[in-house]
């Protein structure tokens, strides 16, 4: 019996930085055909995507699936259901779990669960320091073959000598540290991020190591990253939609759902972060998807948990910016669908014959209304509830299999 194929017809395929009207065939999980017209076989599944945009599968390089140990907030199944609904074919899950992902046995156990429970590809990020305490480095050599990168996300590594040694060892293993840049202590709130961005970039320069700056939120950080890139430092960075769509003024309306780490900043910062994304100074877009229970959010602001969900909102919110002319579609596709593969050494990020059939199909004409009660995620902590716009995910395809079909709002 001949293998069943999936044929997408009539779409605008993003290929080599351009859009081409091509049919696309996936068989055996691999792209096997790209042509102006591919005649379907009777046993193929044919999907008409005329007018839609077919992209390399989007990747969220920064999310929290809360597994192991915090499954009341999220688990692998619900988190990856949210991911494919949001257009992501691959996500990176952070190490600040219970227990922390800092030992080989924990990584291997998590990978086994991912294999059995996930709706999309999931990469594991290992901790930089044991218990995220910032004092003792993990066994990088043991963990490196099993993890995509290392990060103490949720906490900045306060001691420069610890970060420096981590960068040195990761360089030798071909791995990247994703840095949560935040100094603790007496510094003014406006300086806590950029001063650590500056320190960590200088350390990366000294060791000639690669470093990735997480969730950039200040204009000073953008300027430092730009200058470092001009000097040839191996630095990349990401930004999240909430940091270029919201300011701290919005907290008056959204309350604790606007409490995130790093905190929302002012209008000048918001504009500079968006400019950094538009110009490619900030390489990637990420969600920092951080689900919490209602109990943890329904507290006085000082005591409420920090973070918001983002897997199901990041792509439509960003596409709405495309529709109003605030950012180019090509830059969005590059930030979600090309740069993550390139930076972290993952096979993919291109639509060519022989590449895996991981694809995100966009509908720029589809109107959306964000409704937290319809999320597949367990988390409901979003400041974007009720937001409207145009541009959404039409379909998410993982290894040639349709995992989300927006016309029916179904995850498979």
Element (H, E) at 276: helix 267-279
Other CB atoms within 10 Å distance of the CB of residue 42: 5
Show the beta-strand stretches assigned E in 185-252. Answer: 211-213, 235-239
Backbone angles phi, psi at 124, to 5 degrees: -95, 135
Backbone angles phi, psi at 206, to 5 degrees: -60, -45
* Degrees, nearest 5: CA angle 145-150-155: 160
Active-site residue, 35 included: no
Q: Is 309 exposed, middle or buried (0-12, 13-18, 19+ CB in 10 A)?
A: buried
Q: What Cα–Cα distance (Å) separates residue 313 from each residue in 38, 169, 286, 408?
A: 34, 36, 11, 17
Taking the C-alpha atoms of residue 31 and residue 107, their distance in angstroms, rounded to an integer, is 31
Q: What Cα–Cα distance (Å) separates residue 35 from each residue in 21, 95, 235, 310, 394?
A: 9, 42, 38, 35, 21
Name the active-site residue from 23, 288, 363, 392.
288
**Residues marked as catalytic:** 288
């Amino acid at each position: 019996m001949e293998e069943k194929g999936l044929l997408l017809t009539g779409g605008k395929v993003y290929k080599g930085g351009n859009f081409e009207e091509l049919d696309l065939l996936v068989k055996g999980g691999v792209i096997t055909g790209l042509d102006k017209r591919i005649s379907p076989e009777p046993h193929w599944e044919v999907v008409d995507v005329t007018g839609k945009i077919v992209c390399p599968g989007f990747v969220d390089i920064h999310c929290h699936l809360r597994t192991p140990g915090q499954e009341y907030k999220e688990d692998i199944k619900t988190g990856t259901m949210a991911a494919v609904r949001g257009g992501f074919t691959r996500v990176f899950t952070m190490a600040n779990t219970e227990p922390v992902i800092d030992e080989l046995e924990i990584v291997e156990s998590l990978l086994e669960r991912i294999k059995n429970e996930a709706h999309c590809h999931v990469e594991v990020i290992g901790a930089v320091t044991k218990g995220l305490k910032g004092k003792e480095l993990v066994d990088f050599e043991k963990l490196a073959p099993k993890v995509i990168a290392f990060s103490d996300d949720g906490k900045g590594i306060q001691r420069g000598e610890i970060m420096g040694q981590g960068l040195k060892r990761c360089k030798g293993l071909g791995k990247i540290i994703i840095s949560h840049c935040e100094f603790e202590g007496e510094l003014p709130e406006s300086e806590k991020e950029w001063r650590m961005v500056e320190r960590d970039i200088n350390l990366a320069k000294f060791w000639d190591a690669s470093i990735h700056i997480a969730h950039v939120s200040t204009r000073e950080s953008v300027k430092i990253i730009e200058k470092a890139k001009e000097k040839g430092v191996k630095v990349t960075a990401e930004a999240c939609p909430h940091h270029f769509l919201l300011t701290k003024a919005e907290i008056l309306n959204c309350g604790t759902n606007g409490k995130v780490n790093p905190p929302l900043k002012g209008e000048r910062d918001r504009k500079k972060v968006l400019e950094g994304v538009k110009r490619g100074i900030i390489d990637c877009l990420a969600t920092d998807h951080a689900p919490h229970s209602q109990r943890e959010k329904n507290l006085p602001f000082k005591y409420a948990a920090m973070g918001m969900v983002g897997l199901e909102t990041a792509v439509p919110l960003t596409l709405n910016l495309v529709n109003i002319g605030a950012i180019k579609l090509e830059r969005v596709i590059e930030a979600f669908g090309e740069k993550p593969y390139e930076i972290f050494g993952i096979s993919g990020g291109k639509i060519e014959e022989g590449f895996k059939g991981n694809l995100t199909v966009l509908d720029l004409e589809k109107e959306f209304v964000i409704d937290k009660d319809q999320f597949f995620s367990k988390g409901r902590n979003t400041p974007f509830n009720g937001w409207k716009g145009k541009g959404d995910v039409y379909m998410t395809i993982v290894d040639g299999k349709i995992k989300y079909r927006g016309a029916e709002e179904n995850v498979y």
